[in-house]
Amino acid sequence: MHRKPIHLTHTATKVTGRDAIWLAIRELKQFTYADIVIKTSENEYTVRTYLQGLNHAEYIKVIGKDHRDDNTQGIEKPPTRRRANLYKLINDIGIDAPRVRKDGTPVTQGQAREQMWRTIKIIGEFNYTELAANASTETCLVAPHDAKSYIGNLHKAGYLHITTKAGRHTGLARYRLLPSKNTGPKPPKVQRVKNIYDPNLGKIVWQQEVTPE
Amino acid sequence: MNQTTNVANLPPSGTTAPLQNVALCTRLLEQAMNRPGHLPGIVAFSGYSGLGKSISAAYAANKHRAHYVECKSTWTRKFLLQAILKEMGVSPANTIPEMVDQICEELVLSSRPLIVDEMDYLVDKKAVNVIMDIFEGSNAAILLIGEETLPTKLRKWERFHNRVLTWELAQPANLDDTKHLANLYCKEVTIADDLLQRIQEASRGTVRRICVNLHRVQQVALSELGQDSITKAEWGKRELYTGEAPARRA
């Protein structure tokens, strides 16, 4: 099954996807797989793989079988071996949903973008080589061409304005983040369909114009 | 391609020295993060403008995924708290005490540090106690960045002053820093050491001025001299940018 483009699942007021699952886990503290599916209305496969990842990475753990209906009268209860696992949140790391793969290893994709976005907000004015240099760390190098393309996209979406135009004497173009576009911690994403989506606002901030063929 | 050439700050190879201030600032933040539990966790990094404090903060923030806010002179206490929460991605509650609690909870759970830049403005606004409340409530590592007078200004707030673990001063750029900046931003032209030294002296250790001068030198070498290297002799009597307005001519 195809994953839906993120703008179809996100709204500014309602969190969805892994963020929503993580939110539900933090609210419930103890839960079964079914509890999360019911609470979030997320895709069952999404919930299952994320719970597996969180379990492997020890953010949550299985504390036994679900016996919460033991005191209810009148319904037939399944034997223990057929009951659902009961999970418990053991490592709450705050609002940011842990980024883990199914096997529990950390997801590193998107780290360069996160570092660039943070750096843009901190250093004020920059050209693309400066951004690449200042956003790099030992664990995640930012390539100059990546910085260039990200700047291009943010500029297109109206997030950056040019303070110095590129030229023979002025050198590379210099940019600055518009104060109103400091929307939050998550880097705006360039989607595969080449739209630009801001996860902090939960909306598309730039869309390719459809040209009639 | 040699990937390490574009790393501004602390190249993994160790062949080039990192910028002094970047190393200082990161070490300072790590000191606060790794302190024994009974010690205070606020650290301060201060110095004259243009020494590269913010790029140092950018590196430290990226390395430790710190929450970063830059204060503005117009900010009130409430706005400061809202800005921190926005940076965390938490939607702010209505009152100041609730917001402080929200921030503390997020800092405790995520164990990520907090960086407050342009702290001077807060001192003037008397919002210092809010930062202290956040520290008391979370015991998180907090890095304050400000102008060179920050330590003196904070002395007024004795209870706060006591909670600062280390005061560190940003250093003016030395010759190694100048070389490092030249490697990063002046790739088309090789500048001889004697000229780099002149640039460093003329710029008086300010990273921003050094970059302006490196750019000028590169322009002259490429367009006037038409060569890809330049020495002090070739530069001759041309002016370097010192940040001072030109003197009156006779």
CATH for B182: 1.10.8
Return the pLDDT at A2.
55
CB–CB contacts below 8 A, A to B: 91
Query: Is the CB of residue A119 less than 8 Å from the CB of residue A135?
Result: yes
Average pLDDT value for residue range B1-8 = 44
Confidence of residue B13 (pLDDT cuts 50, 70, 90): very low
Asked whether the predicted pLDDT for residue A8 surpasses 80, the reply is no
Query: What are the residues of chain B with a beta carbon less than 8 Å away from any beta carbon of chain A?
Result: 3-4, 6-10, 12, 54-55, 57-59, 61-63, 67-68, 70, 86-90, 105-106, 109-112, 117, 184-185, 215, 219, 223
Mark yes or no for CB contact B6/A118 under 8 Å.
no
Alpha helices by DSSP H, listed for chain A, are: 17-28, 33-40, 44-56, 111-123, 128-135, 144-156
From residue A58, alpha-carbon distances to A21, A61, A89, A96, B244 in Å are 16, 6, 9, 16, 59
At residue B21's C-alpha, the angle toward residues B15 and B27, to 5°, is 85
- Please tell me the distance in Å from B106's CA to the nearest CA on chain A: 5
Mark yes or no for CB contact A141/B215 under 8 Å.
no
Mark yes or no for CB contact A94/B110 under 8 Å.
yes
- Please tell me the distance in Å from A29's CA to the nearest CA on chain B: 14
Instruction: Give the Cβ contact number of residue B115 at 10 Å.
Output: 25
Asked whether the predicted pLDDT for residue B16 surpasses 50, the reply is no
Average pLDDT value for residue range B136-152 = 94
The minimal CB distance from A119 to the residues B10, B62, B111 is found for: B62
Instruction: Examine the fold and report which residue of B169, B189, B211 is the final residue of a domain before the chain moves on.
Output: B169
Return the pLDDT at B4.
43
Helix (H) or strand (E) holding A63: strand A60-65
- Which of B13-27, B100-114, B223-237 ranks highest by mean pLDDT? B100-114
Helix (H) or strand (E) holding B182: helix B175-185
Q: Torsions phi, psi of A198, nearest 5? A: -105, 105
Average pLDDT value for residue range B58-72 = 94
**B22 and B67 assigned to the same domain:** yes
Return the pLDDT at B135.
95
Residues of A with Cβ-Cβ distance to B117 under 8 angstroms: 122
Query: Is the CB of residue A76 less than 8 Å from the CB of residue A99?
Result: no
Select from B2, B6, B63 the residue whose CB has the most chain A CBs within 10 Å, as the one to mutate to test that interface: B6
Residues of B with Cβ-Cβ distance to A133 under 8 angstroms: 6-9, 184-185
**B84 and B157 assigned to the same domain:** yes
Cα–Cα dist A147/B31, whole Å: 31
**A111-207: what fold?**
Arc Repressor Mutant, subunit A (1.10.10)
**B25 and B92 assigned to the same domain:** yes
Mark yes or no for CB contact A185/B67 under 8 Å.
yes
Residue B121's closest CA among B163, B79, B182?
A: B79
Asked whether the predicted pLDDT for residue B133 surpasses 80, the reply is yes
Residue at B1 is within a domain: no
Average pLDDT value for residue range B6-20 = 54
Full-model pTM: 0.87
- Please tell me the distance in Å from B129's CA to the nearest CA on chain A: 24
Cα–Cα dist B43/B25, whole Å: 10
User: Closest-CA residue in chain A for B69?
Assistant: A122
Q: What percent of chain B has a predicted confidence (pLDDT) above 70?
A: 92
Return the pLDDT at A11.
42
The minimal CB distance from B63 to the residues A93, A137, A143 is found for: A137
Q: Of how many residues is chain A composed?
A: 213
- Please tell me the distance in Å from B249's CA to the nearest CA on chain A: 26
Class of domain A6-89: mainly alpha
The reply to whether domains A6-89 and A111-207 share a CATH topology is yes
Asked whether the predicted pLDDT for residue B212 surpasses 50, the reply is yes
Average pLDDT value for residue range B207-215 = 90
Q: Of how many residues is chain B composed?
A: 250
To 10 degrees, the CA torsion angle through B235, B241, B246, B250?
Answer: -10
Return the pLDDT at B111.
92
Average pLDDT value for residue range A35-50 = 94
**B122 and B230 assigned to the same domain:** no
pLDDT digits (tens, 9 = 90+) for A43-85: 999 999 999 999 999 999 999 998 887 777 777 777 877 889 9
Return the pLDDT at A68.
81
Confidence of residue B9 (pLDDT cuts 50, 70, 90): low
Q: What ipTM does this complex have? A: 0.87
Mark yes or no for CB contact A93/B58 under 8 Å.
no
Average pLDDT value for residue range A23-39 = 93
Average pLDDT value for residue range B66-80 = 93
Grouping H, G, I as helix, E, B as strand and the rest as coil, residue A31 is strand
Instruction: Examine the fold and report which residue of B169, B204, B223 is the final residue of a domain before the chain moves on.
Output: B169
Residue B199: which domain range?
175-235
Cα–Cα dist A60/A48, whole Å: 13
**B196 and B152 assigned to the same domain:** no
**B132 and B221 assigned to the same domain:** no
Return the pLDDT at A174.
94
Asked whether the predicted pLDDT for residue B5 surpasses 50, the reply is no
Mark yes or no for CB contact B68/A121 under 8 Å.
yes
Q: What's the CATH number where B119 sits?
A: 3.40.50.300
Mark yes or no for CB contact A129/B185 under 8 Å.
yes
A158 backbone φψ class: left, alpha, beta (φ>0; ψ -120 to 50):
left
Residue at B196 is within a domain: yes
Asked whether the predicted pLDDT for residue A128 surpasses 70, the reply is yes
Average pLDDT value for residue range B34-39 = 92
Return the pLDDT at B1.
37
Residue with tokens 């008391």: B136
User: Closest-CA residue in chain A for B115?
Assistant: A122
Name which of A107-111, A166-170, B197-201 the model is least confident about. A166-170
pLDDT, mean over chain A: 88
Number of H helices, E strands in chain A: 6, 9
Return the pLDDT at A34.
94
pLDDT digits (tens, 9 = 90+) for A163-196: 999 987 777 899 999 999 999 999 999 988 889 9
Provide the number of structural domains found in chain B.
2
Confidence of residue A4 (pLDDT cuts 50, 70, 90): low
Q: Map out the domains of chain A as residue ranges.
A: 6-89, 111-207
